[in-house]
Structure 1
Amino acid sequence: MTRQIPVIVNGAAGKMGREVVKAVAGAKDLMLIGAVDRDPRIQGQDVGEVCGLEALEIPVLSDLESVLAAAAQEPQLGVMVDFTHPSSVYENVRAAIAYGIHPVVGTTGLSTAQIESLRAFADKASTGCLIIPNFSIGMVLLQQAAIAASQYFDHVEIIELHHNQKADAPSGTAIQTAQMLAELGKTFNPAAVEEKEHLTGARGSLADEGIRIHSVRLPGLIAHQEVLFGAPGQLYTLRHDTSDRACYMPGVLLSIRKVLQLQTLIYGLEKIL
């Protein structure tokens, strides 16, 4: 039988982290070997019980490096899934690569410069790394539909809506969607009038090639995105809505299995489908 893939979940007590723990614990080819979270209220508790499962005999620890060091001693190559915070994700990923652990990163907020730095570090270490702004297959399909629509529309804006505990804006998914459209080499939204904002930010943030991104943060939301294309007499709207974080888990599990086959950093779920 193929040996199980050792997996560490960093940010195990967060909303996404708990779902990942459940998904990994339920996958026959994966083996949860570590759970990391900085929440002092749950230190030392069994991560299975924290996540609403039966005891998994894995305590929640706060020291990522000690967990990475232990994982590096496993006979099988290991994976770290990171759903933490924009302020710590860069160092988390560097630490994992340094220990020979393959990162699968769902935390957004990394800058382009940070991603390129991590790419160079992963290349030097010949260690695969996946940075995935959105693990939903539906979002990949939306982005592909947006690319197709951009051939026929010159005006486009992106609206992303998330829960009010999301720390970064715009979302990594919205930024990635704008980047994918910008890479087509087309400038969008030619000016019809000279615009003036009476309140700073009223027109959203300005990405490459004239694409505007608007961010909404409200309790009651999970993760949602619209891409609106406009032309005289018509509006074409693409929308993806998340109602349960479980929808991301097939993409997470696929990424865990795929990252061990890589020796460099890959950005975006669509690259491994």
Structure 2
Amino acid sequence: MTANKIRVVVVGAKGRMGRETVKAVLNDPELELVGCIDRTLQDVAVSALLGHEANGVKFSTDLSKTLLETNADVMVDFTTPATMKGNIDKAIELGVRPVVGTTGMTPEEIANWNQLCKDRGIGGLIAPNFAIGAILMMRFAQQAARYLPHVEIIEMHHDQKLDAPSGTAIKTLELIALEREAMQQGHPDEQETIAGSRGGDYEGMRVHSVRLPGYVAHQQVIFGGLGQTLTIRHDSINRESFMPGVVMGCKQVMKYEGLVYGLENLLD
């Protein structure tokens, strides 16, 4: 182990986000990759995953054992909603700080993990989106809603994404809802000739989910006003765009107690 470095275990290390996270941790001088977890991880894949030899990194399918044996400080999780919840429970129980990019949890679950983190005296982070530009998009949208309350969201992701709408869209809706009263949008007598055409409804705001090959993560927030529209859009062209936020999250969770929901809470 290298003294004073933050020891990081990456869960879902063979996935697309996991591989980018492994590279980001290896390339940051303040972080040390000490473990990689994946349900299909085999030692023969080590060099392909890291880009070089293992250099003491522990590879395993056993999360609890790895967290203990590596004396991990932080667990980064990019798995699935079904797997992620158990991983967070294990990490907090062992005093390891969770940094989670997987979405699909309820407000009640987030509140429970927040209390558990406080009880253990550790920090934690769940971020629907780790791209700094996406965080700015959400902030700008929240500000715009004060003046243009009629709004719809179109979010576009790759066709392997399991949840809809995306966690980013939900977080954006929640932030906008802080600035506007719930209201009906569109004509009061409108009818859908094809079910779902008007999208999901969140306090009168409509959200539309697109799932197609070729996309990574994209969202536009469209505001309508008298004689004008305003579109705020963010595009993640590749998964590398999320890594500065992931690295920042790994460092920031060492500094506070409790679980934070949303990377925007860690920005100045």
TM-score relative to the length of structure 1: 0.92
Aligned position for 2:22:
21
Give the partner amino acid of 1:13. K
Give the partner amino acid of 1:173. T
Give the partner amino acid of 2:200. S
| Aligned equivalents of 1:45, 1:65: Cα separation in 2 | 22
Deviations 1:12-53 (A, max 9, x none): 0111100000010111111101000112xx423353x23251
TM-score relative to the length of structure 2: 0.93
Verify: 1:64 aligned to 2:54, yes or no: no
Q: Does the aligned pair in 2 maintain the 1:45–1:60 contact within 8 Å?
A: no
Aligned counterpart for 2:80 among listed residues 80, 85, 88: 85
SS of equivalent to 1:113: helix
Identity %: 43
CA deviation after TM superposition for structure 1 residue 191, in Å: 4.6
CA deviation after TM superposition for structure 1 residue 232, in Å: 3.0
Equivalent runs, 1:24-103 vs 2, <5 Å: 24-39=25-40, 42-45=41-44, 47=46, 49-51=47-49, 53-57=51-55, 58-71=57-70, 74=71, 78-103=73-98
Deviations 1:207-239 (A, max 9, x none): 2x2111111100000000000001232211111
Q: Does the aligned pair in 1 maintain the 2:58–2:66 contact within 8 Å?
A: no
Aligned position for 1:12:
13
SS of equivalent to 1:35: strand
> Aligned pairs, how many?
265
| Aligned equivalents of 2:180, 2:188: Cα separation in 1 | 23
Equivalent runs, 1:1-273 vs 2, <5 Å: 3-39=4-40, 42-45=41-44, 47=46, 49-51=47-49, 53-57=51-55, 58-71=57-70, 74=71, 78-207=73-202, 209-273=203-267
Deviations 1:99-123 (A, max 9, x none): 0100100111112222122122222
SS of equivalent to 2:81: coil
| Aligned equivalents of 1:105, 1:124: Cα separation in 2 | 19
Structure 1 regions of 5+ residues with no counterpart?
none
Q: Does the aligned pair in 2 maintain the 1:156–1:188 contact within 8 Å?
A: no
CA deviation after TM superposition for structure 1 residue 197, in Å: 2.4
SS of equivalent to 1:68: helix
CA deviation after TM superposition for structure 1 residue 154, in Å: 2.4
**TM-align CA RMSD:** 1.7
SS of equivalent to 2:213: coil
Give the partner amino acid of 2:140. A
| Aligned equivalents of 2:33, 2:104: Cα separation in 1 | 26
SS of equivalent to 1:176: helix
CA deviation after TM superposition for structure 1 residue 56, in Å: 2.3
Q: Does the aligned pair in 1 maintain the 2:149–2:180 contact within 8 Å?
A: no
Q: Does the aligned pair in 2 maintain the 1:43–1:59 contact within 8 Å?
A: no
Q: Does the aligned pair in 1 maintain the 2:8–2:35 contact within 8 Å?
A: yes
| Aligned equivalents of 1:154, 1:187: Cα separation in 2 | 9
| Aligned equivalents of 1:198, 1:113: Cα separation in 2 | 36
| Aligned equivalents of 1:206, 1:266: Cα separation in 2 | 26
Aligned CA distance change for structure 1 residues 95 and 52 (closer, same or farther; 3 Å):
closer
Worse overlay, 111-120 or 191-200 = 191-200
Structure 2 regions of 5+ residues with no counterpart?
none
Aligned CA distance change for structure 1 residues 214 and 190 (closer, same or farther; 3 Å):
closer
| Aligned equivalents of 1:237, 1:93: Cα separation in 2 | 36
SS of equivalent to 2:44: coil
